[in-house]
Structure 1
Amino acid sequence: MSGAKLLYTDYFAPNPAFPDDPLFRRRFRMRKPLFLRIMEGVEAHDDYFKLTRDCCRQLSFSSKQKCMAALRMLALGTAADAVGEMVRMGESMCLKTTVKFACAVVEEFGPEYLIEPNAQDTKKLLAIGDARGFPGMLGSIDCMHWQWKNCPKGLREMYQGHTREATIIPEAVTSHGLWIWHAFFGMSGSHNEINVFQRSPVF
Structure 2
Amino acid sequence: MAKSTAIKALKRFTREIVNLYSAKYLRAPTLADLRRLLAKAERRGLPGMIGSIDCMHWQWKNCRTGWAGEYSGRKRVPTIILEAVISYDTWIWHAFFGMPRSCNDLNVLTKSSLSDELTAGRAPQIQFQVNNKIHNLGYYLADDIYPQWATFLKSIPRPTRPKDLKFSQTQEGYRKDVETCFGILQLRFSIV
TM-score by length of 1: 0.44
Q: Which has the higher strand share?
A: 2
Q: Which has the higher helix share?
A: 1
TM-score by length of 2: 0.46
